[in-house]
Amino acid sequence: MTLYKNIEIPQLDLKYEQPLGLFINNEFVASSDGETIETFNPATEESIASFQAASEKDVDFAVKSARDAFENEWSKTSAEERGLLLLKLADLVEREKSLLAAIETLDSGKPYHSNSLADLEQILQVTRYFAGGADKFNAGRYIPLKHDKYAYTMRVPYGVVAQVVPWNYPLAMASWKIQSCLAAGNTIVIKPAENTSLSLLYFAKLVKEAGFPAGVLNILPGHGPVTGTALASHKDVDKIAFTGSTNIGQTIMSLAAKSNLKDVTLECGGKSPCVIFADANLDEAVPWVAAGIFYNSGQNCTANSRIYVHKDIYQEFLTKFKEYASKNWKFGSKFDPFDEECTLGPVISKGQYERIESYVDHGKDSEKLSVKQLAEYPSKKGYFIPPTIFSDVPISSKLSQEEIFGPVAVAAPFSTYDEAITLANDSSYGLASCVFSESARTTGQFARDIKAGTVWVNSSNDEEAAVPFGGFKMSGIGRELGPSGVETYLQTKSVHVNISKL
């Protein structure tokens, strides 16, 4: 059974050896039951490779490896040592940046030049940020109580942490979790998504090369109902962090509660509003809003998929938005994500393609909705969906309420601030939001009143490694990035010290 495959990417004149095994104890190994998963290129629908899929037995082995590594070695390392290892990992990621971006494009369909390389830049920033934060975000507190007693708190790692990451940002979402969790001093068992496991498996080689001890990071590709369920239910896992759909997040939380009440961090779905007031600079707003919904083919939890525009500039916005999107968000003449002309790649899979299509068809068939589709559907292989906007969409429509997770936006006008904030908050989600206005008073009120974990003022979808990220309502629990990225993987221990004399 082969655990490696030689893969060629002719568009970049690139050849490399792709690991295909489970990564446990710094080695690639076969699954215990021989189960494999085949992954496909969404731009061509062609098979790339088949990799090992972890069984429940493999999960047990990986968790034990992580536990042994934590108890015997990793928990005894200093924060400074962990930071230095992460800095070395960052250097290796930078060395392999072009290859890692190419693997992302091959496996997920991201445009190489405008998307995958940008993802790698963020991964480098995140890795170096948490390398620098390893000895800065773990401080406890001294608490003077009385003359003969004081207390102090310690911020200590959980131990073994399970992580489950999605397919829309395979390596970036993994890096948000892995680098911060390692900085905090935990060991990890992580499951990548079934259809985008290749980049994280290659990343494992760099983790080993950087010098991380065996068992500190274990990577288990596998099926969600098997591998994911086993991790969420495992009684020797101390915490689980998940990014993905809200319904799976609810399942993860339930399994965690029923097993050993392990701590849970969830980053789930979104239906993020974008509110554009009458005094907004449309020439600046339009590019931001277009990127906010069409980047990564709209496969973003934070995508500004609901666009509310003041009635006085509504038609002007739609005209400018359609013109800009038609010119700047395109598949390219070759429908090849490696082509520099390609800024909009395919969606991840046939299932996702059909799901998005069903929403588009619903919009076309509804008499109350008017569709403004910005391109014709291509008659070729690959799961390409053009940028699409529906105008005058009521808040009651499922296009306004449900997460489509594709390059499809809805727009509607509003008249007053109160109406705008009511529309923006009318959602079960609360992950992100954005507002465009030249008035600091208006944007300040919006930031106060919106029920969302992130607010972008006169921009959209520009996360920063130093700023905490997470959702309100059904969009999740807890925060990642910033100091919170480390703190979420630490728990507080209180120590009472009595110095009185008998």
Distance in angstroms (rounded) separating the CA atoms of residues 468 and 41:
33
Q: Which residues pair with 456 in a beta bridge?
A: 434
Is 239 within 8 Å of 264 (Cβ atoms)? yes
Computed on alpha carbons and rounded to an integer, the radius of gyration of the chain in Å comes to: 23
Three-state DSSP class for residue 362: helix
Distance in angstroms (rounded) separating the CA atoms of residues 313 and 169:
34
Pick left, alpha or beta for residue 469 (phi over 0 → left; psi -120 to 50 → alpha; otherwise beta): beta
User: Exactly one of 267, 403, 480, 487 is catalytic; which is it?
Assistant: 267
Angle at 257 between CA 252 and CA 263, to 5 degrees: 80
What angle do the packed helices 97-108 and 79-95 form, to 10 degrees? 70
DSSP state for residue 212 in the 8-state scheme: P
Tokens found for residue 258? 């029923």
376 is catalytic: no
Phi, psi of 469 (to 5 degrees): -135, 135
Angle at 222 between CA 270 and CA 100, to 5 degrees: 75
Distance in angstroms (rounded) separating the CA atoms of residues 382 and 346:
6
Buried b (16+ CB within 10 A) or exposed e, 246-268: bebbebbbebbeeeeebbbbbbb
The continuous run of DSSP H or E covering 216 comes out as none
Q: Which of 163, 193, 60 is nearest to 488 (CA)?
A: 163
> Long-range contacts for 29-34 (Cβ within 8 Å, ≥24 apart)?
29/3, 30/1, 30/3, 31/55, 31/58, 31/222, 32/57, 32/58, 32/61, 33/57, 34/1
Kindly list the catalytic residues.
267
